[in-house]
Amino acid sequence: MVEITHQLPCADAPAPLATVLQQLRTATAVRHRALEARLPLTHSRLDLDTYKRIIEAYYGFHLPLQQLIERFLAPHAIDPARQKIPSLIKDLHALGLSDTQIYALPQCRELPAIGSIAQLLGVMYVMEGATLGGQVLRRIIADKLGIDADSGGEFLDVYGRDTGRLWKAFLKQLAEFDTPLHNAEVVQAACATFDCFQTWLEQARVLNDA
């Protein structure tokens, strides 16, 4: 597996005296807005086939990323409450894929590097933060496509009623780590995660034109 680190600094890098969370928010805001605008999940013409292809592409990114995290942390150190793959598999089954078809889905090979706690926290900021947007998206999917947690929409509400608690627990971890020496590495990893995810979704042809 090829792991790439995006070496370019974030163009919109904030002042280093800001907290690491403030730095993350400033540095990734443009990337978040761009991805949000291009993902068809909120678009009026969203249909079931597009939604299915988005969940397939999400699986193809989350699975190898989860494996990368496990290799860095060792499987026993993973918080079982933060498992996302079982929900993706459940959704893919509900959307009509067999185990064989799920196994054959393409997986992303250009992932953000995870070689330090700073990089891990940067990656987690993006993937955990996405669960907040999921709270908005799950309602949209229910309204537009009639999909709920049992018919293909569990991933968008992957933590259910624990969403807020798990996000706060992550922010506490981030605040405890906060140190000027390593914050730039956290921010760099978060930017790289957004970039890798966007590139992957582009390759999967599920994003609208920029």
**Minimal distance, residue 182 CB to ligand HEM, in Å:** 18
Stretch binding ligand HEM (CB under 6 A), from 31-39, 96-104, 147-155, 174-182: 31-39
List the interface residues with ligand HEM, window 160-189 (CB under 6 A).
Answer: none
Question: Which residues, in sequence order, are CB contacts of 58 under 8 Å at separation 6+?
Answer: 88, 155
**Residue/partner pairs of 64-71 with CB below 8 Å, 24 or more apart:** 64/1, 64/107, 64/108, 64/109, 64/111, 65/108, 65/111, 65/112, 65/123, 65/127, 68/1, 68/3, 68/111, 68/114, 69/114, 69/120, 69/123
Q: Cβ closer to ligand HEM: 104 or 197?
A: 197
Q: Which of 133, 144, 177, 199 binds ligand HEM (CB under 6 A)?
A: 133
Half-sphere exposure of 82 (CA within 13 A, CB side): 21
Q: Which of 112, 197, 204, 207 binds ligand HEM (CB under 6 A)?
A: 197
Which pair of tokens denotes residue 54?
């988005």
Instruction: Work out whether 35 is an interface residue with ligand HEM (CB under 6 A).
Output: yes
Instruction: Work out whether 42 is an interface residue with ligand HEM (CB under 6 A).
Output: yes
Instruction: Work out whether 136 is an interface residue with ligand HEM (CB under 6 A).
Output: yes
Stretch binding ligand HEM (CB under 6 A), from 46-54, 94-102, 133-141, 149-157: 133-141
Q: Cβ closer to ligand HEM: 67 or 135?
A: 135
Q: Which of 51, 125, 155, 200 binds ligand HEM (CB under 6 A)?
A: 125
Instruction: Work out whether 196 is an interface residue with ligand HEM (CB under 6 A).
Output: no
Which pair of tokens denotes residue 157?
């509400």
Q: Cα(58)–Cα(108) distance, rounded to whole angstroms?
A: 10
Which pair of tokens denotes residue 200?
């992957």
Instruction: Work out whether 200 is an interface residue with ligand HEM (CB under 6 A).
Output: no
Question: What angle in degrees, to the nearest 10, is found between the helix axes of 163-177 and 117-145?
Answer: 160
Closest C-alpha among 138, 149, 141, 140 to residue 90: 149
Instruction: Work out whether 36 is an interface residue with ligand HEM (CB under 6 A).
Output: yes
Q: Cβ closer to ligand HEM: 96 or 136?
A: 136
Q: Cα(175)–Cα(195) distance, rounded to whole angstroms?
A: 24
Which residue ranges make up the site for ligand HEM (CB under 6 A)? 25, 32, 35-36, 39, 41-42, 125-126, 129-130, 132-133, 136-137, 197
